Structure 1
Amino acid sequence: MANLCGCGETAKCRTSWTQFNLGRRFLGCPNFMDPTRNCNYFRWVDAPLPNRWYQGTMYQLHVNLVNAQDQVVQANNQNSRTAFYNRVLIVLIIRMLLVRLI
């Protein structure tokens, strides 16, 4: 059964990364970014983590994931630039060869 918020829409499941609720999932109004439509529906899905060690571990895992995602994006950008420059270089070499043949 879907959880409906006060707006009558299906509540969205999100994850909290605040200092005191690291990694806890909650259901919230899908219109939370729109102050005119937000009904402020909120309900925890997970119980709080048992202690600070778990919270710290969850936070560190989150930071590692975000850093890894950033590194993947940077590597993809670098690969795209390299592929573009390689194509330009090939076109220039072919053009030079064609000019010599003519």
Structure 2
Amino acid sequence: MANPWTGEVTVQIDGKPCVCKLTLGALAELEGSLGEGSLVDLIRRFEGGAFSGRDVMAVIVAGLRGGGWIGTASDLIAAEIEGGPVGAAKAAATLLARAFAPPS
């Protein structure tokens, strides 16, 4: 079970709960994978609803890796994420929010 006070989010992938967390290393990896822009730009896209599937996947992969998962985005191409694209986007947005503020 994820601990929201430490920034964790549980994502169900192929029916298995996976703990995601945006650690400093995961955030650095995420920023590197964005190519252009910064984490602030990414957060603005999420806040404004202008994020892409690539953004969602990058945040989920970084969170999984921060939670101890060893894999890449290509490992998730055929994976079933609970809630589909909307569930994945909600998990990514929650990960970003918890990385920079305690849960309310």
What's the TM-score once normalised by structure 1's chain length? 0.30
Identify, as 1 or 2, the structure richer in helix: 2
Greater relative contact order (Cα 8 A, min sep 6): structure 1 or 2? 2
What's the TM-score once normalised by structure 2's chain length? 0.29
